[in-house]
Amino acid sequence: IVDKSWRQTISAAKVKPKVIEFCDSAKLLDRFRESEILLDQVQKGLSDYLETKRSVFARFYFLSNDELLSILSESKDVKLVQPHLKKCFEGIDKVKFLGDLSIDRIISPENEEIMLMTKIDPVDKNVEVWMLELEGMMRLSVRDVMGKAIADYTNTPRPKWMQKWAGMCVLNGSQMHWTNEMEQLFLQQGVRGPVTMLQQQVAQLADMTVLVRGHLSDAARVTVGALTVIDVHARDVIKKLVDEGVETKDNFGWTSQLRYYWDGTDLTAQMVAATRPYGYEYLGNTFRLVITPLTDKCYLTLMGALQMIFGGAPAGPAGTGKTETTKDLAKALAMQCVVFNCSDGLDYVAMGKFFKGLAACGAWACFDEFN
């Protein structure tokens, strides 16, 4: 109706090209007002429709209306949705479609693959439904691979083990075994425990030095690089425990470290009194930040805040890594972290949509340029 009215108006303007003659008609204003009311109704109807899609798959709340419409417009052919996956899943660049269009694996931007425990069949399903299924299966599959990697750690030489499994499972699986080995040594050897562990850490780093100098695939090189960062920090932590003569796992020097525990089915992370469940968000095979004493303090503060259901506000000069440290803690716990760039143009509608998404999918939010 609006389009028809507009075309009639333009046609009439051609007949009467003089502005004064053409705009003198009283009907013209009424027609424009009527069109505005109709367009408002269309806009509201569209917003209500998009809201139904977002209520099913909460990650759509973090997309603009234009981005969501782009996904929905191509949902008849499931393969056309593939370029949009990165907008919803940070670690998924694409998925592998089989001949019957079912999905059997997810692929990261670094071309690392995770096999899904059960294939996803997107045929004849709305895009928000099969993407919700993909999200659930992603978490189950990462947990399955994590369990297998942790179990395989004691059966495979470490240099081979770290090239065999997905990057995030290597990093967190290794940290879990580091925690377990250190606490066992505390029980068995007391104050000698950290000394034994330090010797083991130094030997592991020497093995990694040899590994890095040899031939590695690009993916393995990224994994080894990220694990080296974590292992160097672990060595420094143990050296500090040795210097302080720590003899029990209840010492603050040990409990203040980010520790991982596997109970056979689930991974949890602990830091002093804070305990957080592992999120199993697939993050791909990425580098990790170098961990400094300041990073440890920031982690400790944020973990404590989370335990008390508070937020955190890292403060400091520009470019010192406040946002990246927050994102790195999210990686350490395998949580989805959405960075939101604040600006003067924000209104309550955009913020409401963002908070709905956070509440619905349990993601972390990092408000950049909050001031």
Residues 181 and 297 in one domain: yes
Is the confidence at residue 265, as pLDDT, over 80? yes
How confident is residue 318, by pLDDT bands cut at 50, 70 and 90?
confident
Q: Which residues span the domain enclosing 18?
A: 1-56
| Residue 174: predicted pLDDT | 95
- Which among 31, 56, 81 is the end of a domain? 56
pLDDT tens, 113-150? 999 999 999 988 889 999 999 999 999 999 999 999 99
| Residue 42: predicted pLDDT | 78
Buried-state track 105-124, b at ≥16 Cβ within 10 A, e below 16: ebbbeeebebebeeebebee
Residues 19 and 160 in one domain: no
Selected residue with higher pLDDT from 36 and 142? 142
Instruction: Report the DSSP pairing between strands 364-368 and 337-341.
Output: parallel
pLDDT tens, 179-216? 999 999 999 999 999 999 999 999 999 999 898 888 88
- Which among 286, 310, 334 is the end of a domain? 310
Terminal CA-to-CA distance of the chain, rounded, Å? 46
> Is 116 part of a structural domain of the chain?
no
Selected residue with higher pLDDT from 122 and 7? 122
pLDDT tens, 338-363? 998 888 878 888 888 889 999 999 99
Percent of the chain at pLDDT > 90 equals: 57
> Is 349 part of a structural domain of the chain?
no
> Is 188 part of a structural domain of the chain?
yes
> Is 102 part of a structural domain of the chain?
no
> Is 95 part of a structural domain of the chain?
no
| Residue 331: predicted pLDDT | 93
Domain of 250, CATH number, reads 1.20.58.1120
| Residue 2: predicted pLDDT | 67
Is the confidence at residue 25, as pLDDT, over 80? no
Residues 189 and 49 in one domain: no
Calculate the CA dihedral of residues 98, 92, 275, 364 and round it to 10 degrees: -130
Query: Which pTM was predicted?
Result: 0.86
Q: What is the mean pLDDT of residues 245-273?
A: 93
| Residue 369: predicted pLDDT | 80
> Is 48 part of a structural domain of the chain?
yes
H helix intervals, 190-321: 193-213, 218-244, 252-255, 293-307
List all residues 6 or more positions away from 211 whose beta carbon is below 8 Å from its beta carbon.
159, 224
The domain total for the chain is 2
List all residues 6 or more positions away from 272 whose beta carbon is below 8 Å from its beta carbon.
252, 255, 256, 300, 303, 304
The two three-digit tokens of residue 87, written as one number = 């907008």
- Which among 292, 310, 328 is the end of a domain? 310
Distance CA 165, CA 167 (A): 6
How confident is residue 320, by pLDDT bands cut at 50, 70 and 90?
confident
Q: What is the mean pLDDT of residues 270-274?
A: 93
pLDDT tens, 147-168? 999 999 999 999 999 999 999 9
Q: What is the mean pLDDT of residues 94-121?
A: 92
| Residue 26: predicted pLDDT | 67
Averaged confidence pLDDT in the chain: 89
Residues 175 and 302 in one domain: yes
Residues 171 and 46 in one domain: no
Q: What is the mean pLDDT of residues 64-92?
A: 87
> Is 10 part of a structural domain of the chain?
yes
> Is 15 part of a structural domain of the chain?
yes
| Residue 24: predicted pLDDT | 64
Distance CA 305, CA 300 (A): 9
| Residue 175: predicted pLDDT | 95
